[in-house]
């Protein structure tokens, strides 16, 4: 087969038209309805946050927050300055594989040590002497980017985590209890006053900057979304709980959209199936595996191997190391797509980490970059699905909103070349530009840290 025919076949299976997106949007809309009435036990979606207050932008004060994502732990002292402004003093740490797959208590002790370092060393100047000495309790907002069955704003049961985390002896236990146990072991006077998913944090943090925000989206190592839902529609909550809230109250919902999607309506390719079969959690997070930063590079590598076997890439010879699973991370794709120099020096330097039989040619670079572009374009269109479906769920277009604001946080959206433009293109193709222009996509910086601090303050 020629290079052109191979690319035509690849594009046919990867690039999604509006008609191909529709079954996914419809599938998500059905999953919203199911999730809103299905109790959040075990592997759950549409998880109530118990957060019913949104910031006005006028809040002030200094608060402590913690944000654990798929890659990094971030502990922050957040100074809210009002007028939608904030200052963040942050400490960032990356858990090792041993920590992510080991005993849960050891992992929480590691977090407690990081909090102690922030309060007593890194950001000591932001706290009072009594707080640093442990005489005054510090309130902590925990932004937990993993499924939790929340029973109150500061209580919640840890569910199956995902994103490479398989902590031992944590599933089914209360998250706040795990933290407080570690704080007691480390002699820290810290209290968890709010637990929130990072996507809820993104929504709240961006609402502090722009109160018109109606959707919070994380598009990074993984993907997730949050939005405000009318409490009477959250029928998974006991009626006695729903009746406690005033009429027309909205509660923020953590959709856990990363675990949406079934083989019945997702347009899975052979590459998606191969990746899933090689994963340590097969059949789990099928949708997320099609588009997020954790998986795009591996999909590209699998496709490239087929191009090599066909003799149209790298002279038909796979470089040493390229045949190893996960040997081509998404950041490599970003370098290739960002390299607009005629000599492609950056791309050649990147590929030099592999041992080639022959030095890659400029044509090899062009072919590999085109594969990256196809994979990342599909990611952008799939990332638009939560935006489209949550606009439908909230009936925002029916209400004739002229400005539907989506706050988006995450490295894949913010830093992958042209990703923001491709998500916008997907919305243009779905709605047409006249309607699509009503949707504003804004980068929601510091979602976890600022959102955690805001909710710790709003709910203390």
Q: For residue 192, what are the CA distances in angstroms to 73, 115, 226, 327, 459?
A: 16, 12, 21, 39, 11
φ, ψ of residue 217 to 5 degrees: the values are -130, 130
Task: Of 294, 165, 285, give the one whose Cα is nearest residue 219.
Answer: 294
Say if CB 8 and CB 17 are below 8 A apart. Answer: no
CA pair distance 24, 265, nearest whole angstrom: 6
Total structural domains within the chain: 1
Quote the pLDDT of residue 407.
Answer: 95
Q: What share of the chain is helix, strand, coil (3-state, %, to 5)?
A: 45, 20, 35
Whole-prediction pTM value?
0.86
Residue 57 belongs to a domain: yes
Q: What is the largest CA-CA distance in the chain?
A: 73
Quote the pLDDT of residue 42.
Answer: 64
Quote the pLDDT of residue 246.
Answer: 94
Q: Tokens at residue 44, please?
A: 């759950």
CA pair distance 38, 137, nearest whole angstrom: 37
Residue 412 belongs to a domain: no
CA pair distance 198, 154, nearest whole angstrom: 15
Q: Degrees (nearest 5) of the Cα angle 415, 418, 424?
A: 110
CA pair distance 114, 127, nearest whole angstrom: 16
Q: Residue 219 belongs to what H/E stretch?
A: strand 213-219
Residue 31 belongs to a domain: no
CA pair distance 24, 375, nearest whole angstrom: 18
140: CATH = 3.30.420.40
CA pair distance 25, 31, nearest whole angstrom: 10
Q: Which residue do the tokens 């490599």 mark? A: 332
φ, ψ of residue 112 to 5 degrees: the values are -60, -40
Return the axis-axis angle of helices 296-309 and 330-338, rounded to nearest 10°. 70
Quote the pLDDT of residue 422.
Answer: 98
CA pair distance 253, 155, nearest whole angstrom: 15
Query: Counting Cβ atoms within 10 Å, is residue 361 exposed (0-12), middle (13-18) or buried (19+)?
Result: middle
Task: List, in sequence order, the alpha helices (H) in 148-229.
Answer: 175-185, 198-209
Residue 55 belongs to a domain: yes
Q: Please compute Rg for the chain using Cα positions.
A: 23
CA pair distance 7, 191, nearest whole angstrom: 55
Task: List, in sequence order, the alpha helices (H) in 339-361.
Answer: 345-351
Residue 349 belongs to a domain: no
Q: Which residue do the tokens 């087969």 mark? A: 1
Half-sphere exposure of 9 (CA within 13 A, CB side): 12
Task: Of 400, 391, 379, give the one whose Cα is nearest residue 441.
Answer: 391
Residue 102 belongs to a domain: yes
Residue 415 belongs to a domain: no
**Domain hosting residue 104, numbered range:** 47-209+447-458
Mark 42-80 as b/e (b = at least 16 C-beta within 10 Å): eebbbbbbbbbbbbeeebeebbbbbbbbbbebbbbbbbb
CA pair distance 215, 390, nearest whole angstrom: 7
Q: Tokens at residue 136, please?
A: 């005054």
Say if CB 170 and CB 147 are below 8 A apart. Answer: no
CA pair distance 257, 94, nearest whole angstrom: 25
Residue 127 belongs to a domain: yes
User: Tens digit of pLDDT per residue, the chain (460 long)?
Assistant: 789 999 999 999 999 999 999 999 999 999 999 999 998 776 789 999 999 988 988 888 778 899 888 888 999 998 888 988 888 899 999 999 999 999 999 999 999 999 999 999 999 988 888 889 999 888 899 988 788 887 888 999 998 888 889 999 999 999 999 999 999 999 999 999 899 888 898 999 999 999 899 999 999 999 999 999 999 999 999 999 999 999 899 999 999 999 999 999 999 999 999 999 999 889 999 999 999 999 999 999 999 999 999 999 999 999 999 999 999 999 999 999 999 899 899 999 999 999 998 899 999 999 999 999 999 999 999 999 999 999 999 999 987 667 899 999 999 999 999 999 999 999 999 999 999 999 999 999 766 788 888 888 888 7
Beta-strand pair 138-144/60-68: parallel
Quote the pLDDT of residue 139.
Answer: 85
CA pair distance 444, 202, nearest whole angstrom: 6
């Amino acid at each position: 087969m020629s290079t052109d025919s191979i690319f035509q076949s690849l594009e046919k299976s990867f690039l999604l038209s509006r008609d191909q997106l529709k079954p996914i949007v419809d599938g998500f809309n059905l999953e919203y309805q199911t999730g809103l009435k299905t109790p959040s036990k075990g592997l759950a979606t549409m998880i109530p946050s118990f957060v019913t207050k949104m910031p006005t932008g006028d809040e002030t004060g200094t608060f402590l927050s913690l944000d654990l994502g798929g890659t990094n732990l971030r502990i922050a002292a957040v100074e809210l300055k009002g007028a939608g402004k904030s200052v963040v003093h942050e400490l960032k740490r990356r858990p090792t594989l041993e920590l992510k797959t080991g005993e849960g208590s050891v992992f929480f002790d590691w977090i407690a040590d990081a909090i102690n370092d922030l309060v007593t060393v890194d950001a000591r100047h932001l706290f009072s002497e009594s707080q640093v000495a442990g005489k005054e309790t510090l309130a902590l907002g925990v932004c937990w980017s993993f499924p939790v069955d929340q029973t109150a704003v500061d209580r919640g049961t840890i569910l199956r985590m995902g994103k490479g985390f398989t902590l031992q002896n944590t599933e089914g236990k209360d998250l706040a209890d795990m933290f407080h146990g570690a704080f007691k072991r480390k002699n820290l006077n810290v209290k968890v006053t709010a637990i929130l998913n990072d996507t809820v944090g993104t929504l709240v943090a961006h609402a502090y900057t722009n109160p018109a925000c109606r959707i919070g989206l994380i598009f990074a190592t993984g993907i997730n979304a949050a939005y405000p839902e009318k409490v009477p529609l959250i029928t998974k909550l006991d009626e006695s709980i729903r009746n406690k809230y005033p009429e027309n109250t909205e509660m923020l919902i953590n959709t856990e959209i990363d675990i949406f999607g079934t083989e019945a309506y997702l347009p899975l390719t052979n590459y998606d199936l191969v990746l899933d079969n090689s994963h340590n959690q097969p059949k789990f997070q099928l949708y997320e595996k099609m588009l997020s930063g954790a998986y795009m590079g591996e999909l590209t590598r699998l496709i490239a191997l087929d191009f090599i076997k066909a003799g149209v890439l790298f002279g038909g010879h796979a470089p040493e190391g390229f045949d190893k699973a996960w040997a081509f991370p998404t950041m490599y794709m970003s370098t290739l797509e960002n390299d607009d120099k005629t000599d492609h020096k950056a791309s050649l330097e990147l590929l030099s980490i592999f041992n080639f039989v022959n030095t890659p040619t400029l044509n090899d670079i062009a072919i590999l970059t085109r594969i990256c572009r196809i994979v990342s374009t599909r990611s952008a269109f799939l990332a638009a699905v939560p935006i489209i479906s949550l606009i439908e769920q909230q009936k925002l277009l029916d209400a004739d909103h002229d400005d539907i604001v989506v706050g988006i946080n995450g490295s894949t959206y913010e830093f992958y070349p042209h990703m923001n433009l491709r998500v916008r293109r997907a919305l243009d193709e779905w709605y047409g530009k006249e309607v699509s222009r009503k949707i504003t996509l804004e980068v929601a910086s510091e979602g976890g840290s600022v959102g955690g601090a805001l909710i710790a303050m709003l709910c203390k």
